[in-house]
Amino acid sequence: LFAQFRALGIGADADAVVSPHASAALAHACTRAQQLLDSPEQQVFGMAGTGTSEGWRHPIRLGQSFGDDLLLRAFISRQSIGALETREAAYPRCETDAAGELLSGAHRYTIRFAPGQLPPVDAFWSITLYRASDYFLVPNPIERYSIGDRTAGLVFDADGGLSITIAHHAPLDAAQRANWLPAPEDRFFLCLRAYLPRPEMLDGRYRLPDPQRRPD
């Protein structure tokens, strides 16, 4: 890659003088690359893999190296700061609720893990909420940006399950407030990080519960 960049005048030891022809080619390449990354085919490619439920989708599996798969490298770089290989971490993503509607802070949701059905990992897991418009974390009064098995003070259901409340406004119920993941007023998406995921997390045997929209 460095050799290819150097030929285009990119790099500390590269000739910064680029011909008009090369400049035009680079401009075209940038435009075309964005089109490829935005295409429906690439979106399917980028989020292909095992569907864990109606809303949750696993990205494609990553090995130790991208190798010469430059399109995959670009897609991962645009979608996130970085990504570990799949045997170290899985990153299921959710943009819709159980009814297939886009997630929005205009509504309230519950994600309920049945007893004994927390994400199967050998390290730890968490769910992080991002604003859909810019992929940023959402400022909130309790400064909570993710929730998971390391979150202090979680309240479990009477049967041992775990219900996570996702809403823009704080719940009135104390247990729901303890398990509250604050949302923005508008659209958002969720990313579950499962570190050292077990096989059932990756092969479809384990299904993540979808966000259930609650009455407004």
| Residue 50 pLDDT > 50 | no
Q: Cβ distance 182 to 168 under 8 Å?
A: yes
Residue bearing tokens 């995959």? 72
Give 7-44 pLDDT, tens digit per residue.
777 888 777 777 888 788 888 988 988 888 776 555 54
Highest CATH level, class, for 86-214:
mainly beta
Rounded CA-CA distance 75/188 in Å is 20
Rounded CA-CA distance 132/186 in Å is 8
Tell me 181's DSSP state: E
Domain residue ranges of the chain, discontinuous segments joined by +? 2-38, 86-214
Predicted pLDDT at 81:
63
Among 17-26, 59-68, 88-97, 201-210, the range scoring the smallest mean pLDDT is: 59-68
Rounded CA-CA distance 96/166 in Å is 13
Interacting residues of 143 by C-beta distance below 8 A, sequence separation 6+? none
Report which of residues 113 and 51 the model is more confident about. Answer: 113
Report which of residues 73 and 132 the model is more confident about. Answer: 132
Burial of 159 (0-12, 13-18, 19+ CB in 10 A): exposed
Predicted pLDDT at 47:
44
Percent of the chain with pLDDT over 90: 54
Vertex 69: Cα angle to 63 and 73 (nearest 5): 75
Report which of residues 16 and 57 the model is more confident about. Answer: 57
Predicted pLDDT at 45:
42
Predicted pLDDT at 63:
61
Predicted pLDDT at 49:
44
pTM value?
A: 0.77
Q: Cβ distance 93 to 59 under 8 Å?
A: yes
Q: Cβ distance 206 to 99 under 8 Å?
A: no
Vertex 89: Cα angle to 72 and 91 (nearest 5): 65
Q: Cβ distance 206 to 125 under 8 Å?
A: no
Predicted pLDDT at 84:
72
Give 164-176 pLDDT, tens digit per residue.
999 999 999 999 9
